Amino acid sequence: MNAAWSRLELRTRLVLAFLGILLGALGASWLVTTLAGPRLFRDRLKGSGSVPEATLHRAESAFRSVNAIEMLFVTAVALVLILVVSTVSSRSILASLSRFVSAAESVAGGDYGVRVPARLAGRELDTVAAAFNDMAERVQSVEATRRRMLADLAHEMATPLANLDGYLEGIEDGVVTLDNDVIGVLRGQVSRLARLTDDIHAVSAADEGRLGLNLESIRIAEVVRDAADAIRPAYAEKHVKLVVDEDADVVARADRERLSQVMTNLLKNALRHTPPGGDVRVRIESRRDAVSVLVRDTGEGIAPEHLPHVFERFYRAHPASGDTVGSGIGLTISRAIVAGHRGRIEVHSDGVGRGTDVRITLPRDA
């Protein structure tokens, strides 16, 4: 029964549903007018005084006839109304559904820019349209990220692979001698590919919620200091000053290794975009129920149009080339780690050439 009903068109279902309602109403009316109505009519006439039996019989017959005519008239009007209402309603609904079908087919065909009109045939369909449009927008964003990711991966892998191929070809031709310097260059290119692989794996783990945080009570200053000490040689080599303002009493529940990874990413980004002679300052701020770490640099800054996208995978506000450029996913990974701590990460810049502030905030009982 259910299978047969589901195969019917929407218009047919509406007509049958309305007919079912009509038959139920008519059945109830028939029971009242045929069984209870005449008896009540007869009793009322008797109660009004002495009425001959023949007169009662004729009045009851007339009452039945009038009721029958009324029932036929009501049935005819109801049938016409059912056909009109079901046709109009189904036409409007089917037109709205056809828009959904057309939009869904377009999305399935790769046209992610299609949208369904916001106002259709009622609040419910409007809600579905809004949900569909939100889904299409997300799919479009994911597709754009995927394409950009593939292009960036190809770009990132092209340089080390070309270097490896060039050196290997030179070694085969006898032009390049396989000495310690060459081996160091080859290992460096392999390490670069390995770092890219690790970054891709980290992004996948973050997207799938597989970070596996090991929360414990730690002193935030220790994590910040260790990350800063590890990267100081690179700062000194570039002649960028690194200053850390510590607050040793700040304690929070966090994953020491993951939080160190966030700090390392932020300090590397700050160094990468700060010219020689600039400085980077790290300040730990204690609040009643949270702790925040601010990384402020005097570097390139970020244009306003780039700020909304800095956490997107493989997005670069400052396209560059060579070994100094990052993979473009450090902030993506950092945001996922901070979110896993029930915290937040924010990036602010007053514009190009005016430096950048990155603040992470963690609850004390994360």
More confident site: 5 or 112: 112
pLDDT band of 323, cuts 50, 70, 90: very low
Q: What is the pLDDT of residue 155?
A: 73
More confident site: 39 or 81: 81
How far is 67 from 73, CA to CA, in rounded Å? 10
CATH number of 216-363: 3.30.565.10
Helices assigned H by DSSP within 208-311: 220-238, 256-272
How far is 360 from 209, CA to CA, in rounded Å? 19
How far is 98 from 21, CA to CA, in rounded Å? 28
**Of all helices (H) and strands (E), which one includes residue 140?**
helix 123-173
Q: Do residues 120 and 142 lie in contact, with contact meaning Cβ atoms separated by under 8 Å?
A: no
Q: What is the mean pLDDT of residues 71-92?
A: 73
7-21, 259-273, 320-334: lowest mean pLDDT where?
A: 320-334
Q: Do residues 198 and 172 lie in contact, with contact meaning Cβ atoms separated by under 8 Å?
A: no
Q: What is the pLDDT of residue 236?
A: 94
Helices (H) and strands (E) in the chain, counts: 9, 7
179-218 as b/e, with b when 16 or more CB fall inside 10 Å? Answer: eeeeeeebeebeebeeebeebbebbeebeeeebeeeeeeb
Let me know the angle formed at the C-alpha of 280 by 279 and 284, rounded to the nearest 5 degrees: 145
In the predicted model, is pLDDT for residue 268 greater than 80?
A: yes
pLDDT band of 41, cuts 50, 70, 90: low
Helix axes 180-207, 123-173, angle to 10 degrees: 170
Residue 182 Cα distances to 30, 176, 179, 216, 263, angstroms: 101, 8, 5, 44, 33
> What does pLDDT average to over the chain?
79
In the predicted model, is pLDDT for residue 217 greater than 80?
A: yes
Q: What is the mean pLDDT of residues 170-192?
A: 87
Residue 225: which of 282, 274, 141 has the closest Cα? Answer: 282
Let me know the angle formed at the C-alpha of 24 by 23 and 28, rounded to the nearest 5 degrees: 115
When mean pLDDT is compared over 37-41, 118-122, 140-144, 249-253, the highest value belongs to 249-253
In the predicted model, is pLDDT for residue 339 greater than 80?
A: yes
Let me know the angle formed at the C-alpha of 179 by 177 and 185, rounded to the nearest 5 degrees: 100
Please give the model's pTM, rounded to 2 decimal places.
0.55
Q: What is the mean pLDDT of residues 104-126?
A: 78
How far is 279 from 266, CA to CA, in rounded Å? 14
Reported in sequence order, the residue ranges of 240-311 that DSSP labels E, i.e. its strands, are: 241-245, 251-254, 279-286, 290-297
Q: What is the pLDDT of residue 51?
A: 60
When mean pLDDT is compared over 112-121, 241-250, 271-280, 315-324, the highest value belongs to 271-280
CATH-assigned architecture of domain 141-207: Orthogonal Bundle (1.10)
Strands 251-254 and 356-363: unpaired
How far is 307 from 348, CA to CA, in rounded Å? 7
Phi, psi of 218 (to 5 degrees): -135, 160
**Residue carrying the six token digits 């579905």:** 128
Residue 224: which of 333, 324, 336, 358 has the closest Cα? Answer: 358
pLDDT band of 324, cuts 50, 70, 90: very low
76-80, 98-102, 266-270: lowest mean pLDDT where?
A: 76-80
Phi, psi of 283 (to 5 degrees): -125, 130
Q: Break the chain into its structural domains and give their ranges.
A: 2-111, 141-207, 216-363
Q: What is the pLDDT of residue 270?
A: 93
